[in-house]
Amino acid sequence: MSLPRQDDANSVFTHSPHDDSDYIGEATVTVRGVDIPVELELKGYSEPIDGVFRWIGRIRPNDQLSAIVGDEARVKATIRTTHSARDAFIGDPDPWNRYRVIGKSTPPFHVPTDLSEIQAE
């Protein structure tokens, strides 16, 4: 899934940086017992050194999340998509007020594990 580009005809880029994302869409973040609807983008990868699957991403600016998390550097949370819910950490906001998301092991989005599914991509 990728985000729409403003003007493909005049773009100097051959692809969007979002083309490699594994999940872009709506989710619910539960932090300090509060469910917050958000829009986020996630990408996962297998870390070859320790063999752990890690997933990272950003949550689009969200006033309700900002009011609860503020500028804290690491807050426990649960990320829930239509696929599943997983524990994660929310980091401090970047300059565009997007919160960083960090998780490990099974992500809250589908990861192909069957060889035929991987080859079809």
* pLDDT one-digit tens code per residue, 60-99: 999 999 999 988 889 999 999 999 999 999 999 999 999 9
Identify the residue whose tokens are 């960090």. 102
CA distance 88 to 105: 10
Q: Are 98 and 91 in contact (CB under 8 A)?
A: no
Q: How many residues does the chain have?
A: 121
Retrieve residue 88's tokens.
Answer: 């994660």
Which is more confidently placed, 87 or 7?
Answer: 87
Residue 3's pLDDT is: 47
Inform me whether the pLDDT recorded for 117 exceeds 90: no
Residue 8's pLDDT is: 53
* pLDDT one-digit tens code per residue, 15-74: 555 667 888 999 999 999 999 999 999 999 988 898 899 999 999 999 999 999 988 889
Nearest to 38 by CA among 61, 4, 20, 56: 61
